[in-house]
Amino acid sequence: MHAIAGWWDGVELWVAGLPFVPQFAVVLSAMVPVCLIIAFALDRTLRFALRALGRDRVAAQEAPAPAPQPRRMRKEAA
């Protein structure tokens, strides 16, 4: 574990020592794929959980819509 921590500290110091533009490019090129993977995993997890609970879009579309109630008309006094 100390080897991984030492390697990570070296990478962190290397990135911190870069000028702003290369630092931004390195962080962006690393974070975009990580964020996409996290978003994909959350999407799949929530989709599975909502489907298990019966709260997904397919179940909502298949459910019969309640019939609209007729509007009552008021009689106006003459």
Q: Rounded CA gap, 10 and 67, in Å?
A: 66
This prediction has a pTM of 0.56
- Could you read off the pLDDT of 2-35 as tens digits, one per residue? 999 999 999 999 999 999 999 999 999 999 999 9
What's the CA gap between 55 and 40, in Å, rounded?
A: 19
Closest CA to 47 of 37, 39, 56: 56
Where residue 37 falls among pLDDT bands split at 50, 70, 90?
very high
Cβ contact 15:26 at 8 Å: yes
